[in-house]
Amino acid sequence: MEASWGDGFLAALSDGTIGTNFAHSGATTASFVARGYWAKVLNAVKKNKSNYHPYVTIQFGHNDQKSTSGVSISQFTANLEKMVADVRSAGGTPILVTSLSGRSFDDSGHVVPSLANVVAATKAAAKATGCEYVDLNGASTKYLNSIGAKNAAKYNLTPKDYTHLDKAGMIIFGNLMALLLRTSIADSFQIAPNIHPRSDVVTAIEAGKFKYPS
Protein backbone atom coordinates (compact mmCIF):
# COMPACT_ATOMS: atom_id res chain seq x y z
CA MET A 1 0.00 0.00 0.00
CA GLU A 2 1.40 3.38 -0.99
CA ALA A 3 1.48 5.80 1.89
CA SER A 4 2.90 9.23 2.61
CA TRP A 5 4.40 11.08 5.54
CA GLY A 6 1.22 13.19 5.55
CA ASP A 7 -0.88 10.21 6.58
CA GLY A 8 1.62 9.28 9.26
CA PHE A 9 1.63 12.84 10.54
CA LEU A 10 -2.16 13.01 10.84
CA ALA A 11 -2.03 10.01 13.18
CA ALA A 12 0.07 12.11 15.58
CA LEU A 13 -2.57 14.82 16.02
CA SER A 14 -4.23 15.03 19.42
CA ASP A 15 -7.95 14.76 20.04
CA GLY A 16 -9.74 17.94 19.03
CA THR A 17 -7.19 18.73 16.34
CA ILE A 18 -8.27 17.98 12.79
CA GLY A 19 -6.18 17.62 9.67
CA THR A 20 -6.56 16.62 6.05
CA ASN A 21 -3.96 15.26 3.66
CA PHE A 22 -4.68 16.98 0.35
CA ALA A 23 -1.59 15.57 -1.37
CA HIS A 24 -1.84 13.93 -4.80
CA SER A 25 0.82 11.58 -6.08
CA GLY A 26 2.57 12.91 -9.18
CA ALA A 27 1.47 16.53 -8.71
CA THR A 28 3.67 19.55 -9.35
CA THR A 29 3.15 23.05 -8.01
CA ALA A 30 1.55 23.87 -11.37
CA SER A 31 -0.66 20.79 -11.86
CA PHE A 32 -1.87 20.87 -8.25
CA VAL A 33 -3.32 24.31 -8.90
CA ALA A 34 -4.52 23.60 -12.44
CA ARG A 35 -6.46 20.50 -11.41
CA GLY A 36 -8.32 22.32 -8.64
CA TYR A 37 -6.63 20.62 -5.71
CA TRP A 38 -5.19 23.87 -4.36
CA ALA A 39 -8.61 25.52 -4.40
CA LYS A 40 -9.85 22.74 -2.11
CA VAL A 41 -7.04 23.49 0.34
CA LEU A 42 -7.89 27.19 0.40
CA ASN A 43 -11.60 26.48 0.78
CA ALA A 44 -10.84 24.28 3.79
CA VAL A 45 -8.85 27.11 5.37
CA LYS A 46 -11.68 29.58 4.83
CA LYS A 47 -14.26 27.13 6.16
CA ASN A 48 -12.38 26.37 9.37
CA LYS A 49 -10.66 29.63 10.27
CA SER A 50 -13.49 30.82 12.52
CA ASN A 51 -13.20 27.77 14.78
CA TYR A 52 -9.56 26.76 14.35
CA HIS A 53 -6.17 28.24 13.56
CA PRO A 54 -5.47 26.60 10.18
CA TYR A 55 -1.88 25.67 9.36
CA VAL A 56 -1.03 24.53 5.85
CA THR A 57 2.15 22.54 5.26
CA ILE A 58 3.33 22.88 1.66
CA GLN A 59 5.78 20.37 0.22
CA PHE A 60 6.55 19.98 -3.47
CA GLY A 61 9.67 19.24 -5.47
CA HIS A 62 9.96 15.60 -6.46
CA ASN A 63 7.76 16.02 -9.52
CA ASP A 64 8.56 19.66 -10.32
CA GLN A 65 12.19 18.63 -10.63
CA LYS A 66 11.54 16.18 -13.47
CA SER A 67 12.57 17.30 -16.96
CA THR A 68 9.05 16.52 -18.19
CA SER A 69 7.30 18.70 -15.59
CA GLY A 70 7.40 21.93 -17.57
CA VAL A 71 8.28 23.74 -14.34
CA SER A 72 11.62 25.52 -14.08
CA ILE A 73 13.33 26.13 -10.74
CA SER A 74 12.47 29.83 -10.93
CA GLN A 75 8.84 28.97 -11.65
CA PHE A 76 8.85 26.44 -8.82
CA THR A 77 10.07 29.11 -6.41
CA ALA A 78 7.50 31.62 -7.64
CA ASN A 79 4.72 29.04 -7.36
CA LEU A 80 5.62 28.35 -3.74
CA GLU A 81 5.67 32.07 -2.99
CA LYS A 82 2.20 32.40 -4.52
CA MET A 83 0.94 29.51 -2.40
CA VAL A 84 2.24 31.18 0.73
CA ALA A 85 0.39 34.37 -0.20
CA ASP A 86 -2.79 32.43 -0.99
CA VAL A 87 -2.85 30.70 2.39
CA ARG A 88 -2.34 33.97 4.22
CA SER A 89 -5.11 35.64 2.21
CA ALA A 90 -7.44 32.75 3.05
CA GLY A 91 -6.78 33.21 6.77
CA GLY A 92 -4.27 30.44 7.43
CA THR A 93 -0.62 30.11 8.37
CA PRO A 94 1.58 28.53 5.69
CA ILE A 95 4.58 26.35 6.53
CA LEU A 96 6.89 25.39 3.69
CA VAL A 97 8.47 21.95 3.91
CA THR A 98 11.58 20.78 2.09
CA SER A 99 11.17 17.55 0.14
CA LEU A 100 11.46 14.25 1.97
CA SER A 101 14.77 12.64 1.05
CA GLY A 102 14.95 9.87 -1.49
CA ARG A 103 16.64 6.64 -0.42
CA SER A 104 19.28 6.19 -3.11
CA PHE A 105 22.83 5.97 -1.75
CA ASP A 106 26.21 6.62 -3.36
CA ASP A 107 29.26 4.37 -3.20
CA SER A 108 30.46 6.05 -0.02
CA GLY A 109 27.27 5.07 1.81
CA HIS A 110 25.58 8.45 1.86
CA VAL A 111 22.19 9.54 0.54
CA VAL A 112 22.43 11.01 -2.96
CA PRO A 113 21.40 14.71 -2.65
CA SER A 114 19.22 14.49 -5.75
CA LEU A 115 16.73 17.05 -4.45
CA ALA A 116 19.26 19.76 -3.63
CA ASN A 117 17.93 22.28 -6.15
CA VAL A 118 14.29 22.10 -5.05
CA VAL A 119 15.32 22.10 -1.38
CA ALA A 120 17.32 25.29 -1.95
CA ALA A 121 14.41 26.80 -3.86
CA THR A 122 11.99 26.00 -1.05
CA LYS A 123 14.26 27.71 1.47
CA ALA A 124 14.59 30.69 -0.89
CA ALA A 125 10.80 30.96 -1.15
CA ALA A 126 10.55 30.87 2.63
CA LYS A 127 13.11 33.65 2.98
CA ALA A 128 11.49 35.80 0.28
CA THR A 129 8.05 35.57 1.90
CA GLY A 130 9.06 35.52 5.56
CA CYS A 131 7.42 32.11 5.84
CA GLU A 132 8.38 29.45 8.36
CA TYR A 133 9.85 26.29 6.89
CA VAL A 134 10.56 22.81 8.15
CA ASP A 135 13.71 21.15 6.81
CA LEU A 136 12.28 17.67 6.42
CA ASN A 137 14.88 16.93 3.76
CA GLY A 138 17.76 17.67 6.09
CA ALA A 139 16.29 15.69 8.98
CA SER A 140 15.29 12.69 6.87
CA THR A 141 18.68 12.64 5.14
CA LYS A 142 20.42 12.62 8.53
CA TYR A 143 18.31 9.70 9.74
CA LEU A 144 18.77 7.70 6.54
CA ASN A 145 22.52 8.22 6.59
CA SER A 146 22.53 6.93 10.17
CA ILE A 147 20.64 3.71 9.41
CA GLY A 148 22.35 2.97 6.08
CA ALA A 149 21.23 1.93 2.62
CA LYS A 150 20.10 -1.61 3.45
CA ASN A 151 17.77 -0.50 6.23
CA ALA A 152 16.60 2.59 4.35
CA ALA A 153 15.44 0.40 1.45
CA LYS A 154 13.10 -1.45 3.80
CA TYR A 155 10.86 1.63 3.71
CA ASN A 156 10.49 1.34 -0.09
CA LEU A 157 6.99 0.79 -1.44
CA THR A 158 8.46 -1.77 -3.84
CA PRO A 159 12.05 -3.09 -3.89
CA LYS A 160 13.26 -0.61 -6.53
CA ASP A 161 11.10 2.38 -5.53
CA TYR A 162 13.38 4.69 -3.57
CA THR A 163 10.85 7.54 -3.44
CA HIS A 164 7.44 6.25 -2.30
CA LEU A 165 6.91 4.83 1.17
CA ASP A 166 5.42 1.68 2.60
CA LYS A 167 3.37 1.81 5.80
CA ALA A 168 6.40 1.67 8.10
CA GLY A 169 8.03 4.52 6.21
CA MET A 170 4.82 6.50 6.51
CA ILE A 171 4.94 6.09 10.28
CA ILE A 172 8.63 6.93 10.59
CA PHE A 173 8.60 10.06 8.47
CA GLY A 174 5.15 11.21 9.58
CA ASN A 175 6.38 11.15 13.16
CA LEU A 176 9.60 12.87 12.11
CA MET A 177 7.50 15.67 10.64
CA ALA A 178 5.49 15.85 13.86
CA LEU A 179 8.71 16.09 15.87
CA LEU A 180 10.04 18.88 13.64
CA LEU A 181 6.85 20.90 13.90
CA ARG A 182 7.00 20.59 17.68
CA THR A 183 10.60 21.76 17.92
CA SER A 184 11.96 23.68 14.95
CA ILE A 185 9.77 26.67 14.09
CA ALA A 186 8.68 29.86 15.81
CA ASP A 187 5.11 28.59 16.22
CA SER A 188 6.24 25.34 17.85
CA PHE A 189 5.10 26.53 21.29
CA GLN A 190 1.58 26.94 19.91
CA ILE A 191 1.56 23.79 17.81
CA ALA A 192 3.24 21.38 20.23
CA PRO A 193 0.24 20.71 22.53
CA ASN A 194 -1.72 19.48 19.51
CA ILE A 195 0.88 17.05 18.15
CA HIS A 196 2.00 13.89 19.90
CA PRO A 197 4.46 11.77 17.92
CA ARG A 198 5.04 8.19 19.02
CA SER A 199 7.72 8.10 21.70
CA ASP A 200 9.24 4.85 20.42
CA VAL A 201 9.61 6.28 16.92
CA VAL A 202 11.04 9.58 18.18
CA THR A 203 13.55 7.72 20.35
CA ALA A 204 14.76 5.73 17.33
CA ILE A 205 14.99 8.81 15.12
CA GLU A 206 16.90 10.85 17.68
CA ALA A 207 19.31 7.97 18.28
CA GLY A 208 19.74 7.33 14.56
CA LYS A 209 18.63 3.72 15.02
CA PHE A 210 16.66 1.72 12.47
CA LYS A 211 13.05 0.97 13.39
CA TYR A 212 10.34 -0.72 11.34
CA PRO A 213 7.13 0.24 13.15
CA SER A 214 3.64 -1.09 12.63
Confirm if 93 and 187 have CB atoms less than 8 A apart.
Answer: yes
The boundaries of the domain holding residue 150 are 5-207
Confirm if 155 and 111 have CB atoms less than 8 A apart.
Answer: no
Residue 212 within any structural domain of the chain: no
Q: What is the pLDDT of residue 2?
A: 65
Q: What is the pLDDT of residue 214?
A: 95
Residue 213 within any structural domain of the chain: no
When divided into structural domains, the chain yields a total of: 1
Q: What is the pLDDT of residue 15?
A: 87
Closest CA relative to residue 53, chosen from 79, 16, 24? 16
Confirm if 131 and 84 have CB atoms less than 8 A apart.
Answer: yes
Q: What is the CATH number of the domain that holds 163?
A: 3.40.50.1110
Residue 186 within any structural domain of the chain: yes
Alpha carbon distance 192, 174 (integer Å): 15
Alpha carbon distance 196, 134 (integer Å): 17
Residue 86 within any structural domain of the chain: yes
Residue 81 within any structural domain of the chain: yes
Residue 214 within any structural domain of the chain: no
Q: What is the pLDDT of residue 103?
A: 98
Any idea what DSSP says for residue 91? T
Tens digit of pLDDT at every position of the chain (214 positions) = 568 999 999 999 998 899 999 999 999 999 999 999 999 999 999 999 999 999 999 999 999 999 999 999 999 999 999 999 999 999 999 999 999 999 999 999 999 999 999 999 999 999 999 999 999 999 999 999 999 999 999 999 999 999 999 999 999 999 999 999 999 999 999 999 999 999 999 999 999 999 999 9
Residue 164 within any structural domain of the chain: yes
